[in-house]
Amino acid sequence: MTMQTQALPRTGMGTGSRKALLLGGGLLLALAAPFLLYPVFLMKVLCFALFACAFNLLIGFAGLLSFGHAAFFGSAAYIAAHTVKVWNWAPEFGLIAATAVAGLMGLVFGLIAIRRQGIYFAMITLALSQMVFFLALQLPFTHGEDGIQGVPHGTLFGLFDLNQPLTMYYAVLAIFVGGFALIWRTVHSPFGQVLKAIRENEPRAVSLGYRTDRYKLVAFVLSASLAGLAGGTKALVFQLASLTDVTWQMSGEVVLMTLLGGMGTLFGPVIGAALVVTLESYLASTSLPVPVVIGCIFVVCVLVFRRGIVGEIVARSGRGRKPS
Amino acid sequence: MTMNGTIILEARGLSKEFGGFVAVRDVNLQVRRGTIHALIGPNGAGKSTVFNLLTKFLTPTRGQILYKGRDITRTKPADIALMGLVRSFQISAVFPHLSVLENVRVALQRPLGTSFHFWKSESSLYDLHDRALELIEAVNLSPWANHLAAELPYGRKRALEIATTLALDPEVMLLDEPLAGMGHEDIEGTADLIKRVAADRTVLMVEHNLSVVAHLSDTITVLRRGEILAEGPYEVVSKNPQVMEAYMGTGHA
C-alpha cells in the first residue's frame, strides 16, 4: 500500500528528525552547562522548567487553565523537605512521597474542579490552592513563615553524594529529562490524541463516545504529580521549603513562563522558565523592580507574539501547521 | 434490512422549558429504521432543541426518549454514542488542529481500549490508518488526508465530519443542518453522500428549508413554535396549507 506511507502524520518524519536533533543538542548543552554556569542557577531553571512543562500539559494539550498549580508545587516541596529532614528518608523516597502527595491532591482538586469550564475552572483551582496556602501557613510541620530550612542533601540511591554540586546537578537533570520524556510520550500517545480532541472540540469528543471528564481528570493528576516532582526537587536543591512556593504568585509565575515560551509547544515552557529565572536572578542584583520589568516583558510578548517564543518560531518556519 | 420499518428512535411527549419559555411542547416523534427522516421548521421552531434533547445534550423537562425500545431519557451523551446513536453539529464539528487522518482516527481508536494509555506510543494507532483512509476516500477527501482540518473549505469540513461520524459505524446518524451554509455545488455532493451512507443505516437530520430535503428524505416532520405541524412524505407535507403558510416566501424558493 503506497497510501500507508503517504498517510503517516507529517510529524513522523520531517519535523520529527528536526525535533530529535534539537533534543540531542539541548541535552548536550545541558550536560556541559554546569562547567559554564552556576549549577545552582541551572538547577533552579530545570525545576521551574519541569513545573512549567507539567502545567503546559494541562493548558496546552487539554485546554484546562489551572490557576492553582503552586499548591502542588509547594506542598510537594514541604513533603520532600519534611520526609528527608525530620523522618530522615533517603532523597529518592522523599521525592516519591512528594510526587504521590501532589498527585493525590491533583485527584481531589480535579474531582472538584473538572465539572466546570474556562474561568470557573480557573477560579475553583485558585480557591483550592488558597486553602492549601492557608494550611501551609497554619500547620505545625511547615513552620509558618520560617518554612522548613536546612534540609540535608543526602545520598541518592545510597550511591550518589548530593552534597557535590555536580552530582546534584546531574541528578536534577535526570529527573527533568525523565519528567519531560513522560510528558512527551503522553502528548504522543493514544491518550494524548483524545486529549487534543477534547481541547479542540469537547462536545464533538463527547459525541464520539468519550467521557471527557475522565480524560481531563487523568491529565490533571499527571500534571499535578509532575508539578509535585518539580517542587520536591526544588526543596532538595535549595534545602528549603517555604511559603513562597505555595502562593498564588507562584501559580501566576508558571502561567507566565508557559505563555512566554509558547503554550501547547513541548519546548516552550522550558524556554519560558529559563527566561524568567534568568531575568529574576539578573534583575535581583540591580535596583530595578523585578515584577514591573517582568510584567512589561509579559505585556509586550502577549501583544507582539501571542503564540509565545517557541510558538512563534514554529509558526513562522511554516512547518508549524501542527501545534504539537 | 429485515427489520426495516420498525421504530428505532422514539420521542414521547417531549417538552423542554427554559425558564418560563416553552421551546418544545409535547413532541411525539417516531423514526423508522433504515429511513432518512428530516426535521424541519422555520427559525425558532425548536428543531435544534428537539435535536439536542434526542442526543442528550439537553435534558427534557417532560417526556421520554426510547432507542430500540430502551429508555435513554437519562443516559449520558457519551454513552448513547456507544449504543450506536451518533450526532453531528450545526457548526461544523471537526478537530481543527488535528489532521484529517487524525480526526477520523480519534473516532476509530476507542474500541482499541488504549485511550487512557498515556505511556503508549502513538504508533500503536497506525494500524487504524487503512480503515481511516477508506472512510476519507468515501467522502472524497483523500488528497486532504494529511492537511489540518482547519485548512479545509467549509463543505469539506462537513464531509470530514460525516467521515468521522461514520467511523463509529453508527446505527443512527443524527445530522444537525448538514447542508447549512453550503454553496450549491457542495449541497449536491453532500446530499448524495448522505443518501449513500444512509443505505444501511438510519438518518435523522435537522434542516431549515423544505426544498433542500425534498428529494432526500423518506419522512419529513415540520415543527413550528415547538410543536409538530405536519408529518409525512414530501408530497403530502408540501401540500399542507399550514406548512405552506409557515414557509410562505421562503420554502418554495
A170-229 pLDDT, tens digit each: 999 999 999 999 999 999 999 999 999 999 999 899 989 899 999 999 999 999 999 999
> CA torsion B146→B151→B155→B161, rounded to 10°?
60
The verdict on residue B162 lying in a domain is: no
Query: Taking CB atoms and an 8 Å limit, are B122 and A207 in contact across chains?
Result: no
Q: How far is CA A256 from the centre of its chain?
A: 12
A209 contact B CB<8A: yes
The verdict on residue B107 lying in a domain is: no
What CATH number does residue B61 fall under?
3.40.50.300
Query: Taking CB atoms and an 8 Å limit, are A190 and B145 in contact across chains?
Result: no
Q: Which residues of B touch A204 (CB under 8 A)?
A: 89, 93-95
What are the structural domains of chain A? Answer: 37-316 (1.10.3470)
A190 → closest Cβ in B95, B99, B112: B112
The verdict on residue B114 lying in a domain is: no
pLDDT for res B131: 93
Grid coordinates standing for B171?
A: 446505527
SS3 per residue for chain B: CCCCCCEEEEEEEEEEEECCEEEEEEEEEEEECCCEEEEECCCCCCHHHHHHHHCCCCCCCEEEEEECCEECCCCCHHHHHHCCEEECCCCCCCCCCCEHHHHHHHHHHHHHCCCCCCCCCHHHHHHHHHHHHHHHHHCCCHHHCCCEHHHCCHHHHHHHHHHHHHHCCCCEEEEECCCCCCCHHHHHHHHHHHHHHHHHCEEEEEECCHHHHCCCCCEEEEEECCEEEEEECHHHHCCCHHHHHHCCCCCCC
Q: Please give chain B's pLDDT, 253 residues, in tens.
A: 444 578 999 999 999 998 888 899 999 999 999 899 999 888 788 888 998 899 888 999 999 999 998 999 999 888 988 898 988 887 768 999 999 999 999 999 988 888 898 988 888 899 999 999 999 988 888 999 999 999 998 888 888 988 899 898 899 999 888 887 777 777 787 888 888 888 889 999 998 877 778 888 899 999 888 888 888 888 888 888 888 887 754 544 3
Identify the domain containing residue B38 by its residue range: 7-93+173-183+198-246
Cell 484529517 identifies what position? Answer: B100
pLDDT band at A8 (very low <50, low <70, confident <90, very high): very low
> ipTM score here?
0.80
The verdict on residue B141 lying in a domain is: no
Cα A274 to Cα A254, A271, B10, distances in angstroms: 11, 5, 59
Cβ atoms within 10 A of the Cβ of A86, count?
11
Alpha-carbon distance of B228 to B241, in angstroms, equals 14
3-state secondary structure of A156: strand
The verdict on residue B112 lying in a domain is: no
Q: How far B64 CA lies from chain A's nearest CA (Å)?
A: 20
pLDDT for res B61: 92
Instruction: Indicate the helix (H) or strand (E) that contains A218.
Output: helix A212-238
The verdict on residue B241 lying in a domain is: yes
A4 contact B CB<8A: yes
Instruction: State the amino acid at position A270 in one-letter form.
Output: V
pLDDT band at A16 (very low <50, low <70, confident <90, very high): low
A204 → closest Cβ in B89, B115, B129: B89
pLDDT for res A93: 92
On whether the CB atoms of residues B1 and B34 are closer than 8 A, the answer is: yes
On whether the CB atoms of residues A312 and A305 are closer than 8 A, the answer is: yes
Nearest CA in chain B to A181: B119
On whether the CB atoms of residues B123 and A11 are closer than 8 A, the answer is: no
Q: How far A83 CA lies from chain B's nearest CA (Å)?
A: 29
Grid coordinates standing for B231?
A: 408529518
Would you give the DSSP letter of residue A131? Answer: H
User: Which of B79, B70, B145 is closest to B110 using CA atoms?
Assistant: B79
pTM of the model: 0.84
The verdict on residue B150 lying in a domain is: no
Query: Taking CB atoms and an 8 Å limit, are A7 and B101 in contact across chains?
Result: yes
A146 contact B CB<8A: no
Instruction: Indicate the helix (H) or strand (E) that contains A12.
Output: none
3-state secondary structure of A24: helix
Interacting residues of A50 by C-beta distance below 8 A, sequence separation 6+: A175, A176, A179, A180, A226, A229, A230, A233
Cβ contacts below 8 Å, chain A against chain B, sum to: 133
A189 → closest Cβ in B79, B117, B145: B117
Query: Taking CB atoms and an 8 Å limit, are B132 and A191 in contact across chains?
Result: no
pLDDT for res A109: 94
Alpha-carbon distance of A324 to A193, in angstroms, equals 11
Alpha-carbon distance of B230 to B220, in angstroms, equals 8
Alpha-carbon distance of A84 to A156, in angstroms, equals 11
SS3 per residue for A51-100: HHHHHHHHHHHCCCCCCCHHHHHHHHHHHHHHHHHCCCCCHHHHHHHHHH
| DSSP letters for A167-205 | HHHHHHHHHHHHHHHHHHHHHTSHHHHHHHHHHH-HHHH
User: Which of A192, A195, A228 is closest to A103 using CA atoms?
Assistant: A228
On whether the CB atoms of residues A71 and A133 are closer than 8 A, the answer is: yes
Q: Is the pLDDT of residue A1 over 70?
A: no
Nearest CA in chain B to A199: B95
Query: Taking CB atoms and an 8 Å limit, are B122 and A323 in contact across chains?
Result: no
Grid coordinates standing for B24?
A: 418544545
CA angle A65, A66, A70 (to 5 degrees): 145
> CA torsion A36→A55→A119→B87, rounded to 10°?
140
The verdict on residue B227 lying in a domain is: yes
Q: How far is CA A307 from the centre of its chain?
A: 18
Pairing type for strands B85-87 and B172-176 reads parallel
User: Which of A172, A148, A168 is closest to A160 using CA atoms?
Assistant: A168
B122 → closest Cβ in A193, A212, A321: A193
Number of domains into which chain B is organized: 1
Compare A290 and A186 and report the one with higher pLDDT.
A186
Query: Taking CB atoms and an 8 Å limit, are A190 and B125 in contact across chains?
Result: yes
Cell 415547538 identifies what position? Answer: B226
Grid coordinates standing for A70?
A: 503552586
pLDDT band at A4 (very low <50, low <70, confident <90, very high): very low
Would you give the DSSP letter of residue A134? Answer: H
Four-residue CA torsion sign, B198, B202, B206, B211: positive
B148 → closest Cβ in A197, A207, A322: A322
